[in-house]
Amino acid sequence: MTDISDIEPYSDQDVPQVIDRLINDDEFIKAIGQLKFKGWFTPLSFILRPRIRSFLRSKAQVIQTIQDFQSAVEPQLAKVLSRTTETFTVSGLDHLNPEQSYLFLSNHRDIAMDPAFVNWALYNGGFHTVRIAIGDNLVKKPFVGDLMRLNKSFIVKRNVSGPREMLQTYSALSGYIRQSIEDGHSIWIAHREGRAKDGIDRTDPAILKMIAMAGKPRNESFEEAVRAAQIVPVSISYEFDPCAPMKARELAMTERDGYYTKRPDEDVQSIAAGIMGWKGRVHLHFGKPITDVPETPQELATLIDHQIILGQRVFDTGRLADALLKKHHLPDDLLPDVQQRFQALISGTPEKYREKLLEIYANPLRQFTLHQQSEL
């Protein structure tokens, strides 16, 4: 089997060394300082850096395992959610068995918060937390990779070159996912590479082919391999997307120029904005495990999309954006606070990016409506 030690989550025995490495990482300390103290950190860094390190060392004394780390992060996540969400609601947990492991295949809106909300829902629902698939483009900074792997994340190598390397990489990834499921560890993975920045959720059949690759050494059919993976479609819906202005800018520039070049640290900025920005009402829905598997990846992708899209929550931000794009009268029953905040968001967005911003919010509603009509 291919060596996966450089991509798999850290184990309990790695924790003390990794924690020590983080505390001594200047970029990590700077990131914490800027989040906590904003513009005050740079001029006062000579005072704040040693204090942050001292604080972290005191907290790290009780962190010896992955469970310890997640338990230490949990109250911090609770504070973030209390400050950045109006409500967080969950549905569909009754479809799942706490003693069973699953492959949660999710739509993807936010780099860090999508799997964080899944873990929060599972943890508070009496389930084990998941191992999280993240792209290697997100771990260019060593401290980010360390934090992610402490939080049970494993790294998906992107932009592999050549068919041979691609086959080896994805076979190893598929085998790791299958082995995790069989060992009782659930997995979270996005249903496509990268976030759906335009708000259109579409499962990539290539992801499903990769998942099924683990069945090849066992002479399993596509249907048998997928059934063994215990796929559960997951839908996450945000009333407000903190990264929407950045996404709108990227979409508009890509449409204008035919390409988009990320700025340095843009992914880290997106992670920070997604964590700290206002999200309003958030809803997470767990679909039903897929047991009746179609014959082809394309048919399975369509089935998963249907569950994901119908599991989403329609918020006033989507209705408002749709009405503005169509130049219709605004619905009479919009929540006043949502309408006011959304109008402020539009006003604060450069005019050349506003249409894309509205599409980001309107597209999930339009998808939901189409799939709802298909059931009639």
Tokens of 158: 């992107």
Which residues form the domain of 160?
12-313
Residue 83 lies in a domain: yes
Q: Show the tokens assigned to 138.
A: 């997100």
Contact (Cβ atoms closer than 8 angstroms) between residue 107 and residue 301? no
Percent pLDDT > 70 in the chain is 99
Q: What is the pLDDT of residue 1?
A: 47
Would 212 be classed as within a structural domain? yes
Report if residue 340 sits inside a domain: no
Q: Is position 247 within any domain?
A: yes
pLDDT number for residue 164:
87
Q: Six-digit token pair at 20?
A: 């020590």
DSSP symbols for 155-178: EEP-S--SHHHHHHHHHHHHHHHH
- Tell whether the torsion through CA atoms of 313, 269, 340 and 116 is positive or negative: positive
CATH number at residue 290: 3.40.1130
The half-sphere exposure of 111 on its side-chain side, counting CA atoms within 13 A, is 24
Rounded Cα distance, 291 and 147, in Å:
35
Longest alpha-carbon distance in the chain: 65
CA torsion sign for 345, 346, 349, 355 is positive
Domain presence at residue 18: yes
Inform me whether the pLDDT recorded for 2 exceeds 60: no
CA separation for the pair 203, 178 (Å, rounded): 19
- The answer to whether residue 306 is domain-embedded is yes
Domain tally for the chain? Answer: 1
- Kindly indicate the confidence band of residue 376, based on its pLDDT and cuts at 50, 70 and 90: low
Mean pLDDT computed over 309-331: 96
Q: What is the mean pLDDT of the chain?
A: 94
User: Is residue 115, in this structure, part of any structural domain at all?
Assistant: yes
Token pair, residue 352, equals 């050349």
> Considering the domain boundaries, does residue 127 fall inside one?
yes
Tokens of 363: 């597209």
Chain-centre distance for alpha carbon 47? 35
Q: Are 329 and 323 in contact (CB under 8 A)?
A: yes
